[in-house]
Chains A and B, each alone.
Chain A
Amino acid sequence: MTPPKILISSLSKRYGATSREVLALEAVDLSVSEGEFVTIVGPSGCGKSTLLYILGGFLKGTGTVAIDGRAVDRPGLDRGIVFQEYALFPWLTVKDNIGYGLQTQNIARSEREDIVHRYIELIGLRGFEQRFPRELSGGMKQRVALARTLACEPEILLLDEPFGALDAQTREIMQDELLRLWRKTRKTVLMVTHDVTEAVYLSTRVCVMSQRPGRIVREFSIDLDRSASREEIVLSAAFERARNEVWILVRAQVVSGTGVATAT
C-alpha cells in the first residue's frame, strides 16, 4: 500500500530551556492524501503554524513526519510555502522574485523567462514585472508570493495564514484565485488559518486543533460542489451547516482556554 502523501504521527514540539519549557504540540496525528486540500483551524497560539513549519523542515520536533514515506528534516523544493507576511525578497523585482526558485535550480534563462512570464499572466500582473515589492499592494504581493512558490511546481503547498494580512474584500478574491489555481494544478495543500469560513470554503477536509499544547481534536470532511459560484456555495445550506459545526468546535477550543462559560 502506498504511504499517504503526508504522514504525521505522534508529533510533539517543545520550546525553550528545560526550566521554562513550552509544549507547543502534543502527539499530533495527521494524514493527508495526494490532491487533498486540508486546513487546520484553531485558536491563536495553538501551534498550528508550528506544525506547518515542522512539516516545511524549518523546525524540528519529536515524532514522525514523512512525505511519501521519507522522513522530513530540512526544507526542500518539494514543499512550497507561502507566509502571511508574503516574505518577498524586497531587493528583487517581481520578475526576479518569481524566478528565484527556478534560478536556484539552474534552469536555463530562456526557459526561466518563459515560466515566469506564464505565471505573471496567470496572476494577472502583466506590466508589473520590473516593480519592486514595496511598490505593490498587499493583494499583489500575495499573488507574487503564490506565483513564486508555484513556479517551482512543488508537490505540496504549505500555506500559513496566507490571507491574514489582507482586507476582507481582497481576501475573498484571493481565496477564489487560490481555489482556481488549485483546481488547475491539483496539488496537495495544507493550510493553516484561524478563519473558519475560509477553511470550510476552500478545503476538502478541516482539522480542528485544541489550545496549546495543540492536538487534532476532530476532523471534518467537507463535501461541497465547488464548481458553483462563490455566492451559491456560501449561501447554500450545506455550507452553513458545515461552517457552524466547525465553528462551534473551534469556539469551544478558544473558550476552554479563557474560562468563559459556553452554552452546550
Chain B
Amino acid sequence: MTVSNRLRTALSFSGPFVIFAALWQAASAWLAPDPTMFPGLGAIAYALVRLSASPELWSNLGISLARNYLGLALAIVAGVSLGSCMARYPIANGFFSPLVGATYSLPKTALIPLLLLWLGVGSTTDTTAVFLSCLLPIVVHSYHGAKDTPRVLLWSAAALGTPDRALLPRVMLPSSLPQIVTGTRIALGFSYVVTIAAEMIASKSGIGKLIFVYGGSGAYDYLFATILVIIVVAYLVDQAYVRLTATLLRWHHWE
C-alpha cells in the first residue's frame, strides 16, 4: 500500500473516533451539571498525562498483564494437550467429555470466591482464575480441530512411516492450528474480564483494583483515563495476535 493510501485508511479509521470524542465533549458540557461525573476530554487527557508519568499505572498494568498472560499460556498448553488427546484417544474422550460438558456452562468468575477461600488473596488466585476460564474454550477448539483432521492425512502419514504415537503431534496438531488460533483469540478476550473481575473482587494490586479504587474515591478523570488505556492495550494486543498468527497460518486455505 502506498503512503497516501495508508494515510487515507488511517484517517478513515480514526474519523469515527473523532466524531465520538466530539459527541462525548458535547455531552460532558451539556449533560452533567457536576463535571466530575462526566469528565471532559481535557480533564481526561490531563489525567492521562499525569498517570503516564507515575509508576502507579504502569506497575499495576504490568502486574495484571503478567497474571493474565501466565494464566492464558498455561491454559493454552493444558487445553491444546487435553483437547487433542481427547480427539485422538477415545478413552480420554470418554472420561473428559462429560466433565467438559458439565462445566462449560459454569460462569467461571463464580469460582473466584471459591478460589479466594482456597488460595487467599493474591496473584495465584488471579492466575488460576484466568487459567480455569480460558481452559475450556481452548479445549473445545483443539478437540474439534483435531477431530476434523482428514483421515486421508492420517493414513498418508502412517503409510509414510509415521509411528502411531507420533500421529498426534506430527499431523493432528498442525492440522488443528487454525482452530486452536481461533479458540485462543476467544480465550484472550475473555481472560481480561476474569483478571479484572478477580482484582475488583479482592486484590491488593492490579489494574482492576486501580479502577475500582479510582471509582470509589471519586477520581473520575483518572478512572476514565485508565479505562482508555485498557481499551487501547486490549485492542493493540488483539491486533498483534492476529498479525502474528497470520504468519503462522500462511499455509491455510481459508474457505
Contact = CB atoms under 8 A, between A and B. Distances in A.
Q: Let me know if chains A and B touch directly in the complex, using CB atoms closer than 8 Å.
A: yes
Interface of A: 53, 56-58, 74-77, 79-81, 83, 85, 87, 89-92, 100-101, 104-105, 132-134, 148-149, 152
A81 B175 contact: no
Given A132-B250, A132-B251, A134-B252, A89 B174 contact: yes
Contact of B158 (A75, A83, A133, A149): A75
25 contacts: A53-B155, A56-B155, A75-B155, A75-B159, A76-B159, A77-B159, A79-B159, A83-B152, A83-B155, A83-B156, A85-B150, A87-B152, A87-B153, A89-B157, A89-B174, A90-B252, A91-B175, A101-B161, A104-B163, A104-B166, A105-B161, A134-B251, A134-B252, A148-B160, A152-B160
Interface of B: 150, 152-153, 155-163, 166, 171, 174-175, 177, 250-253
Nearest to B166: A104
A92 B159 CA distance: 17
Given A81-B155, A101-B160, A148-B160, A87 B250 contact: no
Contacts of B252: 90-91, 134
Contacts of A56: 155, 159
B159 A104 contact: no
Given A85-B150, A91-B251, A148-B156, 13 more contacts: A58-B155, A74-B158, A76-B159, A80-B160, A81-B155, A81-B159, A83-B152, A87-B150, A87-B155, A89-B157, A104-B162, A104-B163, A132-B251
B146 to A, nearest CB: 14
Most buried by B among A75, A80, A92: A75
User: Looking at chain A's contact residues, is the secondary structure mostly helix, strand, loop, or mixed?
Assistant: loop
Contacts of A152: 160-161
A80 B152 contact: no
